[in-house]
Amino acid sequence: RKEVEQDPGPFNVPEGATVAFNCTYSNSASQSFFWYRQDCRKEPKLLMSVYSSGNEDGRFTAQLNRASQYISLLIRDSKLSDSATYLCAVNTGNQFYFGTGTSLTVIP
Amino acid sequence: EAQVTQNPRYLITVTGKKLTVTCSQNMNHEYMSWYRQDPGLGLRQIYYSMNVEVTDKGDVPEGYKVSRKEKRNFPLILESPSPNQTSLYFCASSLNGVSYNEQFFGPGTRLTVL
């Protein structure tokens, strides 16, 4: 069983739409959780960490549900510049596990 | 500028010819890691290092070696590359390997093994 499962998409949404991504993780001992953004085979860059209390950064909201073992990312008011691949990541015992990434294209 | 550097950025080689991909960070990070990224498989951790002289296997260590003799450097060694090691490789570093420390990634090395 994969440590982290993520819907690969693609998601094609119009500008201004709200879009949500989910990831599930298999190890209940996982300690920390992240969303990374990756543009066109460039290096991943941290978008936001995901805390138990949930956190928000502008148009982006991340949530963690430990009971159901999933993390989510909500993007409101999508911009063209949001087009990218979004990777979830989980830290379990000093190792990092990434989802396969979800491709998002925001259409004018 | 705080960064992770990798060299070379692109490499085409032949089966069995030993190669090393270098990785260096200037942020005094303790934790360093190597990943490979393949279509449909995502980023998979090859090896990681919690600190100098401490290295551990990640998810896909077969066919790779690493060393951590200095804090800033973490080279990836392919003793006898094979075509199934054709991939995009990323080095990353973070303050440490626990809690919510951000991982900073290098620009990637695109390796083709013929």
Query: For the segment A24-55, what is each residue's pLDDT rounded down to a tens digit?
Result: 999 999 989 999 999 987 999 999 999 888 89
Say which DSSP state B102 is in. P
Please provide the distance, in angstroms rounded to a whole number, between the alpha carbons at the two ends of chain B: 36
Under an 8 A CB cutoff, do B33 and A96 touch? Answer: yes
pLDDT digits (tens, 9 = 90+) for A58-77: 999 999 999 999 999 999 99
Cβ neighbors of B90 (< 8 A, separation 6 or more) are A43, A44, B6, B34, B35, B36, B37, B43, B105, B106, B108, B109
Half-sphere exposure for B26 (CA within 13 Å, toward CB) = 5
Under an 8 A CB cutoff, do A51 and B100 touch? Answer: yes
**CA diameter of chain B:** 40
Cβ neighbors of A106 (< 8 A, separation 6 or more) are A13, A14, A15, A17, A78, A79, A80, A81, A82, A83
CB-based contact, A52 to chain B, within 8 Å:
no
Under an 8 A CB cutoff, do A91 and B97 touch? Answer: yes
Contacts of A98 in chain B (CB under 8 A): 35, 42-44
The pLDDT value recorded for residue B97 is: 76
